[in-house]
Homo-oligomer: A and B are copies of this chain.
């Protein structure tokens, strides 16, 4: 049985309509892809770095914006120790490493300094990174988002033209809850979801035996339930972790590694969503 809804008058409708925002692309970039997980610690940053390098290998100009103000990983994962230059005292030049233009709050503070900041300060930092960085003619900027559904996510969704988001998660049920919240948030904020990745999907021991440490198939199920694309599984892997810790992402140090090939496939898949 259909439920009748009482109509709103035109004026009232206008007043209760969702606030609309002017969304601009990040200056100097063509497409913005956000890597999100809602939950932290699922390997999102490792994914972001390797994915960016995989996109670059398809002959795109790529940048990475580390939007995790509280826990920047980019400086360590990309082995960047220098400070960004500012010619005019207002803008910041990104730092190029492995052919990727990079920016992170971690470039501006000592690596062990906590950013003990309330939300508005975070918002202001994100605005600086999206408006004042001299990104140079990028096809893609990959944004490594922080966990949660708070200030950073809202600032991106409301003020920046985000062309798509990749949601990365482990298959653990408790993580999938956060994924569902993330999907709902992006749907609500009208940010297109490019697909879901099952990360730390399984562990393979030295004899080739597989262990589903975090459970099995959960991310794909959520993708199906919400009619989102499933982009594939990335196993939990010591080489991948070691490479991230060493400052040379696996895709850079060993592009022929079986895990690197998975990143290649995902990058090719994502590429199809864009007219470049």
A113 x B39 contact (CB < 8 A): no
**Interface membership of A205, Cβ < 8 A:** yes
A76 contacts partner chain B, Cβ-Cβ < 8 Å: yes
Closest to A146 in B: B148
Cβ-defined partner of A184 (8 Å) among B40, B41, B113: B113
Would you give the 0/1 interface string for A34-77, flagging 1 where the beta carbon is closer than 8 Å to chain B?
00001111100110000000000000000000000011010011
Q: Which of A114, A215, A236 has the most CB of B within 10 A?
A: A114
- Which residues does chain B contribute within 8 Å of A39, judged by CB atoms? 40-41, 71
- Which segment of A1-9, A89-97, A116-124 sits at the interface? A116-124
Question: Which of chain B's residues has its CB closest to A151's CB?
Answer: B118
Cβ of A99 under 8 Å from chain B: no
Which stretch, A19-27, A127-135, A168-176, A259-267, touches the partner chain B? A168-176
Chain B proximity of A133: nearest CB distance (Å) = 22
Stretch at the interface among A79-87, A206-214, A250-258: A206-214
Contact indicator A203/B211 (Cβ below 8 Å): yes
Evaluate contact between A122 and B150: CB separation under 8 angstroms. Answer: yes
Please tell me if the beta carbons of A172 and B111 are within 8 angstroms of each other in the complex. Answer: no
Taking CB atoms, residues of chain B closer than 8 Å to A119 are 118-120, 122, 150-151
Residue of B with least CB distance to A173: B245
* A residues at B contact (CB < 8 Å): 38-42, 45-46, 70-71, 73, 76-77, 111-120, 122-123, 146-151, 153-154, 170, 172-175, 177-178, 180-182, 184-185, 188-189, 203, 205-206, 209, 211-215, 236, 238, 241-242, 244-245
Of the A-B pairs whose beta carbons lie under 8 Å apart in the complex, a sample of 26, sorted by A's number, is A39-B71, A40-B41, A40-B147, A70-B149, A71-B147, A112-B180, A112-B181, A114-B182, A114-B185, A115-B149, A115-B181, A116-B149, A116-B150, A116-B153, A116-B154, A117-B150, A118-B120, A119-B122, A119-B150, A122-B150, A148-B148, A174-B244, A174-B245, A205-B205, A206-B209, A211-B238
